[in-house]
Each structure stands twice: as structure tokens, then as C-alpha cells.
Amino acid sequence: MADFHIAQEIQQALDARQPVVALESALITHGFAYPANIDITRRMAEAIRAAGAVPAVIGIWRGAVCVGLSDTQVQVLATDTTAAKVSVRDLPLIGVRGVHGGTTVATTTLLAHRAGIRVFATGGIGGVHRGHPEDISADLPVLASTPLIVVCAGAKSILDLPRTLEYLETWGVPVLGWQTDEFPAFYSRTSGLPVDQRVDSTDQVVDVFQAQRALRLPQGLLVAAPIPAEDEVPAAEIEPLIAQAVAEADAQGVSGRAITPFILARMVALSEARTKHANESLLLNNARIAAQIARNSVD
């Protein structure tokens, strides 16, 4: 059976009821290229510590679950081109395979919850794919069944945002807008789609999360924070690039687990790295917000 390791620092923080923020590792193995992947992970971890919480990078190390990967382990994952993208259906297979792996939002959410962590900072969640409504990220059903606060910048419009929000509604996942009334679209602050509830403070986020628990609801909570205005790439500029990247994926027959990494990489190339800068900015922003929420939720 796959082992489940919790790093000593993380276990001690949890035992002492200190705030902990989970970070995913699919962005290390499949989201960013080397060395940007190490750099952004380190900067997110620093931002979380500066805000008074403990970062826990979650990933797969030689077929074992690891909550709290060390800097050295992150370095190895970041340069291992054979590392697996580990979504939920892959999770029970990692022990047999013995691989290193990056955990997606779905898998990181599940594992963070198993470890006793309550808050997770990521970039964009997966969702229903544009033009392929049968391709639904495991991120969505996991959010519907795992009580965790997931801080993201919405979902990028490589996805079908209306269908993604419909799914979340059907399965009872509240979508909170962090100081916004609109669901953010990752690179862009707006999508034209409303959130379920605007929140302006960490108190309000924690209130909603506690209400879910008091009501014994099984769902997690999505906190959607728009990218900082100065780093936004307006929707009008990003749309043609997304359309092109999606068309290329279709033309080359890219599908399944490969499609998100393919489109992300094409977006960076097509935008001459503007999307990379935007992605880094929103990740740091989300890390800071998640740390503040984590601090509030243990007080």
C-alpha cells in the first residue's frame, strides 16, 4: 500500500494548532517549466511564512504520499521529466508504480484533508473543458466531497466557465468572491459570471466554512480571488490566444490528462511569457490570502 508521510514540521504545526497552507505540486511537474517551477514554489512558501503560516507542499515521492516535501525533494520533482501528473484515479496506483508525481488540485485537496489541513492555495482549478463537456476535471467532484477551503483565481477560460460553475452549483460547492462580485477568470479579473457570495474579510470566509461544518455538509469551499490589477491580462487580449491553443490541441489530438499542461505551455509561448508573469502574480496573491484565512481559522 502507498505510504503516507507527513513531514515533522507539518505534523508539529498541526498538533500545535498552528496555521498550515497546502500547496499543490502538479504546478511544479506540469504547470511551469524548470526553473520557474522551483522559483514560484519557493516564493509562495516564503509568502505563506511571511504571513504567519506554515507551507506544506504535497506531492508523491517514490510512490509515497508526502505532505510537506523538502526543498531538495521539490528540486528533484522540478527536474524529473518522467514525474507523473497524479489525479485521484492515479492515487492508488502510485505505490505499484513507485514514481515521483505532482498532485493536482483534486489530489492535493484530498490529501490535505487527510492530513488535517484546512486551507489550500492554488492558481486555477480544473473544470469542464471547452468544446469537450464530457471532460470534467476530478477537481470538481473532489471539491464537492472534501471539506477544505481552496483559494484560487477562478478558472481560466481554456475551460467552459459557465458549465464549470453549473457543476459546482449542482454539487453544492459555494463559490465566494474575494472582494469581488464576479468569478475571476485567472489571467483576467472578470468573467461576466457572478459568484454566489462576495466576501471582504477572512472572518466571512471562516464563518461560511464553519456553517458548512455545523450543518454537516460534505462540500469544500471555493474562494476565488482576482489576479492583482497590475498583472492582469485583459480578457480581450487573452481570448484569441486561448482559442488558438484550444484549436491546436484539437488538431493534434491532445486530450485527457495531457490537455491542461499542453494548453498552459502554448499560452506561455503565444503570449511571450505574459501569462507566466500573470500566473506567478496570482499564485503569490492566493498564497497570501490563504495564509490569512488559515491564521483566522485556527484562532
- To the query of whether residue 230 is one of the catalytic residues in this protein, the response is no
Q: Is 253 exposed, middle or buried (0-12, 13-18, 19+ CB in 10 A)?
A: exposed
Query: With respect to Mn ion, which residue has the nearer C-beta, 24 or 135?
Result: 135
Answer yes or no whether residue 224 interacts with ligand PSU by CB under 6 A.
no
- To the query of whether residue 85 is one of the catalytic residues in this protein, the response is no
Answer yes or no whether residue 123 interacts with ligand PSU by CB under 6 A.
yes
**Neighbouring residues of 259: CB distance < 8 A, sequence distance ≥ 6:** 129, 135, 249
Query: With respect to ligand PSU, which residue has the nearer C-beta, 264 or 293?
Result: 264
Answer yes or no whether residue 154 interacts with ligand PSU by CB under 6 A.
no
Which listed residue (138, 142, 149, 294) binds ligand PSU by CB under 6 A? 138
Single out the segment in contact with ligand PSU by CB under 6 A; choices: 52-60, 131-139, 141-149, 211-219: 131-139
Residue 48 C-beta: closest distance to Mn ion, Å:
28
- Size of interface with ligand PSU, in residues (CB under 6 A): 19
Among 23, 137, 33, smallest CA distance to 69 is for 23
Answer yes or no whether residue 87 interacts with ligand PSU by CB under 6 A.
yes
**Neighbouring residues of 26: CB distance < 8 A, sequence distance ≥ 6:** 85, 86, 102, 103, 104, 105, 107, 108
Answer yes or no whether residue 126 interacts with ligand PSU by CB under 6 A.
yes
When CB distances are held under 5 to 8 angstroms depending on the partner's kind, the choice from Mn ion, ligand PSU, none that residue 123 binds is: ligand PSU
Q: Is 236 exposed, middle or buried (0-12, 13-18, 19+ CB in 10 A)?
A: exposed
Rounded Cα distance between 89 and 115, Å, is 19
Residue 188 C-beta: closest distance to ligand PSU, Å:
13
Q: How far apart are the first and last CA of the chain?
A: 36
Among 62, 223, 71, 260, smallest CA distance to 149 is for 223
When CB distances are held under 5 to 8 angstroms depending on the partner's kind, the choice from Mn ion, ligand PSU, none that residue 113 binds is: none
* Helix H or strand E segment including 109: helix 105-115
When CB distances are held under 5 to 8 angstroms depending on the partner's kind, the choice from ligand PSU, Mn ion, none that residue 90 binds is: none
Q: Lay out the site mask for Mn ion across 128-147 (x = CB under 5 A, - = otherwise).
A: -------x------------
**Chain position whose Cβ is nearest to Mn ion:** 135
Single out the segment in contact with ligand PSU by CB under 6 A; choices: 90-98, 101-109, 206-214, 267-275: 101-109
Torsion sign over Cα 148, 291, 174, 68: negative
Query: Amino acid identity of 267?
Result: M
Q: By the 8 A CB rule, do 6 and 67 touch? A: yes
Helix (H, G, I), strand (E, B) or coil at 209: helix
Q: Which of 24, 182, 232, 280 is catalytic?
A: 24
Active site residues: 24, 156
Binding residues for ligand PSU, rule: CB under 6 A, are 24, 26-27, 31, 87, 104-106, 123-124, 126, 137-139, 156, 186, 257, 260, 264
Binding residues for Mn ion, rule: CB under 5 A, are 135
